[in-house]
């Protein structure tokens, strides 16, 4: 079969490509801007002029209608160009040598007392507040605490600063290599299995300084969320070892956190959530102690009333046998005396049995009470530590009011 030949196309020329039209050519062909109409940039501030041509005072503008407005703008521009770009007040010699702290009276609403504030001073184009401004205007939250409690808080702040400086140092390589599987240093974000492992380790294994120093910011915040959620359960179970371990983890994690200025809003919110949980637990402990003391007073009053009511019956019941003895015969007197001896022996035996039973149970009850007191002391110490560190070092000073006053 022969190949078909393509018929030559005669009388048809391909359409040439259209030339690309640029906007610059359109603008040039349409209207040509004169140098007076082009906007200029301010040589000092770099701002582009909204009304081109105002900087050239000698040249006439090509606009026809708004001549009066442009003349006014040109006049204002000329006046502004004669003024300096930055006004600086002359500094007196007294302010440069020694800054004076003047007292400024602040106007307040009528009916309220006015107060005075130190004004500070200006130096090198900046306002500098006086050094004792915070002491005069901000009330200290530790005014209601005893001296021993304030000393303990001062020592706690000093130890926390030392912990921060220690955890910022890089641990030696040998210490890092010595960490085992029970002391991990990373918590992947969004990994549920790793979070469960961390929860189990926090409740069963004590932290190490090398482990805390090697943690990154994501691991620290993840561990902080775990201890915040487990805090209530640990306090509820009243296990001294678990409370001590939880306090050690919280102490180390807060010490590894960055400064409050370097944290994001979500990070500060996680730290505040821990402080709010501690404040809520403190409030519950205070309510339970108040209810316990009130119930104890009511029970003591009830026992006193019962003894007062029972004493007349005992007296009247004891007088009847005496009257019977006086009226009865000799045989009845002998039988009554023997009966009284038997009753006395039986009462003595019962009393000895009760004393022996109390002696057997007394050490156990005392040990339980001592254990409860020790657990309560550990819990209060941990909660005070959380509220103090979160309030003092992370800007949550409103949580400091939740701290309870120590009993003297």
Which residue did the predictor score with more confidence, 231 or 130?
231
pLDDT band for position 331 (cuts 50, 70, 90): very low
Reported confidence tier of residue 74, pLDDT bands at 50, 70, 90: confident
- Cβ 171 vs Cβ 198: under 8 Å: no
Residues 232-275: tens digit of each pLDDT: 999 999 899 999 999 999 999 999 999 988 899 999 999 999 99
pLDDT classification of 126: cutoffs 50, 70, 90: confident
Nearest to 220 by CA among 261, 183, 185: 185
Q: At what angle do helices 147-167 and 240-256 cross, to 10 degrees?
A: 60
Q: pLDDT digit string (tens) for 14-49? A: 666 666 655 555 555 555 556 656 677 777 777 777
Q: For the residues 222-226, what does the mean pLDDT come to?
A: 94
Mean pLDDT check: name the lowest of 8-12, 66-70, 96-100, 184-188. Answer: 96-100
- For residue 300, is pLDDT > 80? no
Does residue 163 surpass a pLDDT of 70? yes
Kindly give, in sequence order, each residue whose CB lies less than 8 Å from that of residue 201, ignoring residues fewer than 6 positions away. Answer: 182, 183, 184
* Higher per-residue confidence, 261 vs 362: 261
Q: Domains, the chain, ranges and CATH?
A: 143-302+368-408 (1.20.58.1070)
Distance in angstroms (rounded) separating the CA atoms of residues 105 and 119: 9
Give the DSSP H/E element, type plus range, for residue 105.
Answer: strand 103-105
pLDDT at 386 over 90: yes
Angle, CA 88 vertex, CA 85 and CA 91 arms, to 5°: 165
Cα–Cα distance measured from residue 75 to residue 79, given in angstroms and rounded to the nearest whole number: 6
pLDDT band at 294 (very low <50, low <70, confident <90, very high): low
**Per-residue pLDDT at 287 exceeds 70:** yes
pLDDT score recorded for residue 25? 52
Residue 183, pLDDT > 90, answer: yes
| pLDDT confidence of residue 366 | 65
What are the residues whose beta carbons fall under 8 Å from the beta carbon of 242, sequence distance 6 or more?
A: 203, 234
Has residue 135 got a pLDDT over 60?
no
Report the pLDDT value the prediction gives residue 369, as an integer from 0 to 100: 82
- Strand partners of residue 122: 127
Contacts of 46 (CB under 8 A, 6+ apart): none
Categorize the per-residue pLDDT at 68 as very low, low, confident or very high, splitting at 50, 70 and 90: confident
What is the residue-averaged pLDDT of the chain? 73
- Comparing 23-27, 317-321, 336-340, the range with the smallest average pLDDT is 317-321
Q: Where are the beta strands (DSSP E) in 113-198?
A: 116-118, 121-122, 127-128
pLDDT at 75 over 70: yes
Q: Whose structure tokens read 């770099």?
A: 46
pLDDT value, residue 47: 76
Q: How many residues does the chain have?
A: 408
**Residue for token pair 């006439």:** 60
Mean pLDDT of 56-79: 66
DSSP-derived pairing of the beta strands 121-122 and 127-128: antiparallel
Most confident of 12-26, 52-66, 389-403: 389-403
User: Residue 101, exposed/middle/buried by CB under 10 A (0-12, 13-18, 19+)?
Assistant: middle
Runs of H (alpha helix) within 168-216: 173-177, 192-204, 209-213
**Phi, psi values for residue 41, rounded to 5°:** -95, 140
Collect all residues with Cβ–Cβ distance below 8 Å to 393 and sequence separation of at least 6: 157, 160, 254, 260
Query: What pLDDT does residue 82 have?
Result: 77
Query: Comparing C-alpha atoms, which of 134, 110, 396 is closest to residue 275?
Result: 396
């Amino acid at each position: 079969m022969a190949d078909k030949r393509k018929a030559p196309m005669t009388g048809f020329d391909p359409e040439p490509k259209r030339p690309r039209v640029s906007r610059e050519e359109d603008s040039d062909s349409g209207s040509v801007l004169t140098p007076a109409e082009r906007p200029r940039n301010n040589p000092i501030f770099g701002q582009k002029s909204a009304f081109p041509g105002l900087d050239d005072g000698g040249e006439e503008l090509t606009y026809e209608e708004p001549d009066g407005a442009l003349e006014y703008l040109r006049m204002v521009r000329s006046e502004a160009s004669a003024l300096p770009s930055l006004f600086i007040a002359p500094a007196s010699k007294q302010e440069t040598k020694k800054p004076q702290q003047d007292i400024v009276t602040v106007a307040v609403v009528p009916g309220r007392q006015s107060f005075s504030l130190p004004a500070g001073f200006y130096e090198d184009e900046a306002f500098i507040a006086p050094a004792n401004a915070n002491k005069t205007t901000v009330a200290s939250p530790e005014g209601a605490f005893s001296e021993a409690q304030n000393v303990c808080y001062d020592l706690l702040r000093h130890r926390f600063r030392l912990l921060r400086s220690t955890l910022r140092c890089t641990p030696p390589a040998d210490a890092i290599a010595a960490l085992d599987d029970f002391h991990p240093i990373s918590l992947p974000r969004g990994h549920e299995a790793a979070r469960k492992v961390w929860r189990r380790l926090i409740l069963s294994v004590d932290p190490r300084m090398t482990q805390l120093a090697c943690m990154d910011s994501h691991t620290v915040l993840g561990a902080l969320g775990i201890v915040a959620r487990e805090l209530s359960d640990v306090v509820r179970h009243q296990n001294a070892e678990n409370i001590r371990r939880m306090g050690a983890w919280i102490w180390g994690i807060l010490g590894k956190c960055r400064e409050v200025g370097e944290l994001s809003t979500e990070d500060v919110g996680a730290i505040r959530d821990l402080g709010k949980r501690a404040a809520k637990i403190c409030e519950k402990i205070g309510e339970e102690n108040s209810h316990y003391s009130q119930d104890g007073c009511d029970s003591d009053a009830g026992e006193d009333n019962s003894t007062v009511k029972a004493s007349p019956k005992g007296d009247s019941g004891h007088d009847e046998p005496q009257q019977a003895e006086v009226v009865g015969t000799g045989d009845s007197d002998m039988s009554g005396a023997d009966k009284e001896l038997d009753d006395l022996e039986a009462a003595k035996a019962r009393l000895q049995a009760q004393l022996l039973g109390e002696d057997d149970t007394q050490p156990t009850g005392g040990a339980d009470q001592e254990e409860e007191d020790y657990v309560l002391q550990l819990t209060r110490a941990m909660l005070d530590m959380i509220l103090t560190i979160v309030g003092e070092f992370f800007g949550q000073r409103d949580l400091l009011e939740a701290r309870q006053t120590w009993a003297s």
